[in-house]
């Protein structure tokens, strides 16, 4: 027998070629019995399935979407926020058998050359793309737009033609700032993500030094409601970064009365640094974070909650359907006050 094709299978089963195609690509269109019969005949004849490259050429679709990360690939499998977000996205994508491609844009090349490595975007074979902590003006995002890749953002974009699912990170920062100010805190430490290796402490930072879009927006909100911010970094988003940067703040002669991690992961690291020094929150220093991951509740951490799973689901739906409305979704936030914040020590 010559080359086995969809038409070969269709003739052997007595159905149309489109029915055979549906058995592989749209199984919900067939009864279980008919699909199993088609797959059994295909296996008997040695047919491995439709050629993905040929299918893409015919349809003009790659049947895959990408997620652009300004972090190491391991971040997607270790950070609770990223895990929740990506899980929700994939739950939507798998309903249409669409693949997810992780595209890390690591900081190593940018730290060495001053220019980020955008090879992943240049070579990506995807229909659409979403991002994690990457701004609209990032070279990788601009390259994706130039290539005609549809982008579903995760930050507010004033462009009326843009598509995004986001929270108001500025208001999230301002909400937490108002809470701390109301408790009597004036000088507050803030731990930002700079993308350097975890545990790399950088002090004396200003708002202008922060490039992470979520971090920058949250700091602006904090700055609008608090008298003084002491901005430091412990590297990229990880517990050890919170331990390192938190330790640097705690060891200052005039340490802040409160410390804000711009993610719960970092704030939890600060609590660990406090335990190492025999300190307690909020007795000695108040500590708070953002996101409200599961571990935050377990640790009694004050935080600003965002609906991570809903965010991922909404992004997934917009990645699949460019006509879906609304195309700009602002999700709610909520200040969750727990035992880690209180009035400054007298």
In a domain, 338, yes or no: no
In a domain, 31, yes or no: yes
Find how far residue 184's CA is from the centre of its chain. Answer: 33
The answer to whether residues 124 and 30 belong to one domain is no
- The confidence score (pLDDT) of residue 17 equals 85
- The confidence score (pLDDT) of residue 54 equals 46
Q: How confident is the model at residue 115 (pLDDT cuts 50, 70, 90)?
A: low
Residue 23 sits in a domain whose CATH number is 1.10.260.40
Shortest CA distance to 230 belongs to which of 188, 264, 288, 275? Answer: 188
Q: How confident is the model at residue 1 (pLDDT cuts 50, 70, 90)?
A: low
Residue partners of 10: CB distance under 8 A and separation at least 6: 16, 17, 19, 20
- The confidence score (pLDDT) of residue 107 equals 58
For residues 301 and 35, the model is more confident at: 301
Q: What percent of the chain has pLDDT over 70?
A: 90
The answer to whether residues 153 and 246 belong to one domain is no
In a domain, 267, yes or no: yes
Which residue in the block uniquely carries the two structure tokens 């972090």? 71
Residue partners of 95: CB distance under 8 A and separation at least 6: none
The answer to whether residues 151 and 206 belong to one domain is no
The model's pTM is 0.80
pLDDT digits (tens, 9 = 90+) for 282-324: 999 999 999 999 999 999 999 999 999 999 999 999 999 988 9
The 10 Å CB-count burial string (b at 16+, else e) for 272-310 is ebbeeeeeebbebbbbbbbbbbeebeebebbbbbbbbee
In a domain, 342, yes or no: no
Cα dist. 68→38, 268, 290 in Å?
Answer: 38, 26, 21
In a domain, 345, yes or no: no
The answer to whether residues 162 and 179 belong to one domain is no
Residue partners of 33: CB distance under 8 A and separation at least 6: none
The answer to whether residues 130 and 186 belong to one domain is no
CA–CA separation, 191 vs 246, rounded Å?
Answer: 7
The answer to whether residues 296 and 180 belong to one domain is yes
**Cis? peptide before 260, omega within 30° of 0:** no
- The confidence score (pLDDT) of residue 61 equals 63
- The confidence score (pLDDT) of residue 35 equals 84
- The confidence score (pLDDT) of residue 58 equals 46
The answer to whether residues 123 and 178 belong to one domain is no
- The confidence score (pLDDT) of residue 106 equals 61
User: What domain count does the chain have?
Assistant: 3
Of 121-135, 232-246, 322-336, minimum mean pLDDT range:
121-135
The CB density around residue 172, as the number of other CB atoms within 10 Å, is 25
The CB density around residue 192, as the number of other CB atoms within 10 Å, is 29
Q: Is 328 strand, coil or helix? A: strand
For the ranges 122-126, 212-216, 279-283, the maximum mean pLDDT occurs at 279-283
In a domain, 158, yes or no: yes
Please say whether the beta carbons of 85 and 56 come within 8 A: no
Write down how long the chain is. 346
Q: Is 179 strand, coil or helix? A: helix
In a domain, 248, yes or no: yes
Is residue 60 over pLDDT 60? no
CA–CA separation, 28 vs 33, rounded Å?
Answer: 12
CA–CA separation, 56 vs 287, rounded Å?
Answer: 51
If you average pLDDT over residues 239-243, what whole number do you get? 96
Q: What angle do CA 260, 262, 263 make, to 5 degrees?
A: 110
In a domain, 1, yes or no: no
The answer to whether residues 276 and 186 belong to one domain is yes
The answer to whether residues 217 and 202 belong to one domain is yes
pLDDT digits (tens, 9 = 90+) for 144-199: 888 888 999 999 999 999 999 999 999 999 999 999 999 999 999 999 998 788 89
The answer to whether residues 162 and 174 belong to one domain is no
Max CA pair span of the chain: 88
Q: What percent of the chain has pLDDT over 90?
A: 58
- Domain carrying residue 22: 6-50
Q: How confident is the model at residue 212 (pLDDT cuts 50, 70, 90)?
A: confident
The answer to whether residues 205 and 274 belong to one domain is yes
Of 70-84, 91-105, 148-162, 308-322, minimum mean pLDDT range:
70-84
Shortest CA distance to 116 belongs to which of 138, 86, 133, 101? Answer: 138
The answer to whether residues 177 and 301 belong to one domain is yes
Is residue 331 over pLDDT 80? yes
Residue 272 sits in a domain whose CATH number is 3.40.50.2300
């Amino acid at each position: 027998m010559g080359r086995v094709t969809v038409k070969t299978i269709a003739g052997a089963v007595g159905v149309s070629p489109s029915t055979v195609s549906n058995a592989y690509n749209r199984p919900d269109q067939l009864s279980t019995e008919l699909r199993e019969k088609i797959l059994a005949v295909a296996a008997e004849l040695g047919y491995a399935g439709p050629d993905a490259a040929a299918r893409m050429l015919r349809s003009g679709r790659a049947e895959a979407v990408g997620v652009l990360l300004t972090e190491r690939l391991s971040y997607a499998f270790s950070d609770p926020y990223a895990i929740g977000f990506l899980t929700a996205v994939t739950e939507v994508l798998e309903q249409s058998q669409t693949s997810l491609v992780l595209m890390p844009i690591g900081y190593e090349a940018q730290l060495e050359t001053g220019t980020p490595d955008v090879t992943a975007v240049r070579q990506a074979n995807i229909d659409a793309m979403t991002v994690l902590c990457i701004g609209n003006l990032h070279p990788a995002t601009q390259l994706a737009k130039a290539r005609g890749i549809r982008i579903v953002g995760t930050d507010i974009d004033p462009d009326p033609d843009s598509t995004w699912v986001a929270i108001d990170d500025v208001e999230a920062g301002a909400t937490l700032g108002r809470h701390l100010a109301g408790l009597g805190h004036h000088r507050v430490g803030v731990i930002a993500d700079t993308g350097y290796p975890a545990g790399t402490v950088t002090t004396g930072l200003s708002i202008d030094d922060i490039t992470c879009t979520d971090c920058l927006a949250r700091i602006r909100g904090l700055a609008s409601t608090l008298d003084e911010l002491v901005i430091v970094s412990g590297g990229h988003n990880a517990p050890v970064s919170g331990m390192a940067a938190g330790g640097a703040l705690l060891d200052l002669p005039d340490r802040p009365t409160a410390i804000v991690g711009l993610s719960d992961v970092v704030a939890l690291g600060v609590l660990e640094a406090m335990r190492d020094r025999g300190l307690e929150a909020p007795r000695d220093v108040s500590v708070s974070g953002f996101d409200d991951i599961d571990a935050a509740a377990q640790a009694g951490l004050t935080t600003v909650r965002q609906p991570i799973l809903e965010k991922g689901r909404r992004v997934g739906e917009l990645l699949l359907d460019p006509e879906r409305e609304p195309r700009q979704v602002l999700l709610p936030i909520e200040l969750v006050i727990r035992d880690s914040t209180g009035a400054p020590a007298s």
